[in-house]
């Protein structure tokens, strides 16, 4: 369980000039150097609040542990007279010690792609859009930068904490799309935790083991899901089922097994649908379900999407429109806020969670410029 966090009162910003490219790269590197596993984001949150204040934002840490900075007003609530554009990234990472180093244009380290790189882009872009130095935000519009906790956990605790607090006019999720692409959808998710215990029996006897029972349950479940896994279907349009872990134990009296299965769910297939299919195959085993998320698809014709597409086209870039097979905090806030939303950030998402995680510095800086260009036109259509 995450430690309790006490919200800090917002501190007034320090007048500052917009962040330079060199400062933005240094910010990202320091963010990557600070470990921030899910549930252990406190040190990074404190650092980000300090940095955002130095860049002219009003910043604080909320009671969930999120680091929040705004270009005006109170970071912890919406003002009905103000149009909020929320830039929602996350501070936490999965485990794995990737040595922080720079090799030419490439910066290596855990979180460079997922998703400290996108969050650093948000902070830099907010600095450059912030008056009086910036000229991109008209009166009545503000940016809200959120570094959320526990996105890499099934809890999404940080995103859930901010849902009732704001009523944004648009939201950008900080996830790697590549600087020349936007992500318009994420699949849903369900985790199934299987448990079975039986009295020990001789392996030469007629009854199978608890491991046999678990494997049989899994095979029945995959068969039951077959209508949602049509041959030749695109990954985004099909259920993806993975047996993530199996662990057997025995104390000489009872044999036991615990297993976890994960399901990535396309639009139209709900977590409850899959939970019902799993439970129907469970026989005498116990099932527990967590991580319920419904797939979310964005409107490619929203003012937000058009702002990015037009900015890229103006830069002679052919924008790519992506749908991801994973999940993000978009699955949490998208259905609740019902505002224009998409995900954006530098980096190759195939490097997420890998020992080779790295981002191109040139792409990182290009993403800041691209986001600032989009921000200059987003508000015109909202």
Report yes or no: 66 and 10 within 8 Å, Cβ to Cβ. no
Rounded to two decimals, the pTM is 0.91
β-partners of residue 160 are: none
Say whether both 197 and 287 belong to one domain: yes
Say whether both 105 and 130 belong to one domain: yes
Say whether both 177 and 111 belong to one domain: yes
Pick the last residue of a domain from 266, 292, 318. 292
DSSP-assigned states of every residue in 156-205: -HHHHHHTTT---SEEEEE----TTEEEEEE-EEEEEEEEEEEE---TTS
The whole domain housing 232 covers: 188-292
CATH of the domain at 255: 3.30.70.360
Tell me the three state secondary structure of residue 126.
Answer: helix
Domain presence at residue 308:
yes
End-to-end CA distance of the chain: 39
Q: Would you write out the chain's pLDDT as a tens digit for each of its 382 residues?
A: 455 555 666 665 665 688 999 999 999 999 999 999 999 999 999 999 999 999 999 999 999 999 999 999 999 998 888 999 999 999 999 999 999 999 999 999 999 999 999 999 999 999 998 655 554 677 789 999 999 999 999 899 999 999 999 999 999 999 999 999 999 999 999 999 999 999 998 676 677 899 999 999 999 999 999 999 999 999 999 999 999 999 999 999 999 999 999 999 999 999 999 999 999 999 999 999 999 999 999 999 999 999 999 999 999 999 999 999 999 999 999 999 999 999 999 999 999 999 999 999 999 999 999 999 999 888 666 6
* Residue 329: alpha-carbon gap to chain centroid: 5
DSSP-assigned states of every residue in 80-123: TTSEEEEEEEE--B-S--PPPEEETTEEESTTTTTTHHHHHHHH
Say whether both 44 and 137 belong to one domain: yes
As a whole number of Å, the CA-based R_g of the chain is: 23
Pick the last residue of a domain from 270, 292, 314. 292
Q: Please say if 74 is a catalytic residue.
A: no
Say whether both 36 and 140 belong to one domain: yes
| Burial group, residue 66, by CB count within 10 angstroms (0-12, 13-18, 19+) | buried
Tell me the three state secondary structure of residue 150.
Answer: coil
Q: Please say if 152 is a catalytic residue.
A: no
Pick the last residue of a domain from 247, 263, 292. 292
Q: 41, 62, 84, 92: which one is catalytic?
A: 92
Say whether both 46 and 135 belong to one domain: yes
Domain count, the chain: 2
Check residue 356 and report its DSSP letter.
Answer: T
Edge to edge, the sheet with strand 240-250 lists 240-250, 254-265, 188-199, 286-293
Q: 151, 175, 255, 357: which one is catalytic?
A: 151
């Amino acid at each position: 369980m995450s430690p309790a966090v006490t919200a800090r009162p917002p501190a007034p910003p320090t007048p500052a000039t917009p962040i330079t490219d060199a400062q933005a790269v240094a910010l990202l590197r320091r963010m990557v150097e600070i470990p921030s596993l899910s549930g252990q984001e406190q040190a990074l949150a404190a650092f980000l609040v300090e940095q955002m204040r130095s860049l002219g934002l009003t910043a604080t840490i909320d009671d969930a542990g999120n680091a929040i900075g705004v270009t005006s007003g109170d970071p912890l609530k919406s003002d009905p007279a103000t149009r909020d554009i929320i830039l929602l990234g996350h501070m936490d990472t999965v485990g794995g010690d990737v040595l922080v180093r720079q090799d030419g244009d490439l910066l290596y380290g855990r979180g460079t792609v997922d998703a400290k790189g996108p969050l650093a882009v948000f902070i830099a872009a907010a600095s450059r859009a912030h008056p009086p130095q910036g000229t991109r935000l008209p009166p009545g519009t503000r940016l809200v930068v959120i570094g959320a906790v526990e996105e890499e956990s099934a809890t999404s605790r940080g995103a859930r904490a901010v849902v009732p607090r704001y009523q944004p006019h648009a939201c950008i999720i900080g996830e790697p799309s590549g600087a020349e692409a936007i992500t318009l959808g994420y699949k849903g998710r369900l985790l199934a935790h299987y448990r079975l215990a039986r009295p020990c029996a001789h392996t030469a006897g007629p009854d199978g083991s608890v491991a046999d029972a678990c494997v049989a349950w899994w095979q029945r479940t995959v068969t039951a899901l077959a209508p949602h896994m049509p041959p030749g279907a695109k990954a985004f349009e099909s259920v993806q089922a993975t047996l993530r872990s199996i662990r057997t134990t025995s104390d000489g009296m009872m044999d036991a097994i615990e297993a976890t299965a994960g399901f990535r769910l396309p639009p139209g297939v709900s977590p409850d649908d899959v939970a019902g299919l799993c439970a129907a195959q469970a026989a005498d085993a116990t099932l527990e379900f967590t991580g319920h998320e419904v797939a979310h698809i964005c409107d490619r014709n929203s003012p937000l999407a058009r702002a990015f597409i037009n900015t890229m086209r103006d830069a002679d870039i052919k924008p790519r429109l992506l749908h991801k097979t994973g999940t993000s905090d978009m699955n949490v806030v998208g259905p609740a806020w019902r505002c224009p939303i998409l995900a954006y950030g530098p980096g190759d998402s195939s490097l997420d969670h890998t020992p080779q995680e790295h981002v191109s510095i040139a792409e990182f800086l290009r993403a800041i410029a691209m986001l600032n260009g989009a921000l200059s036109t987003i508000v015109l259509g909202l």
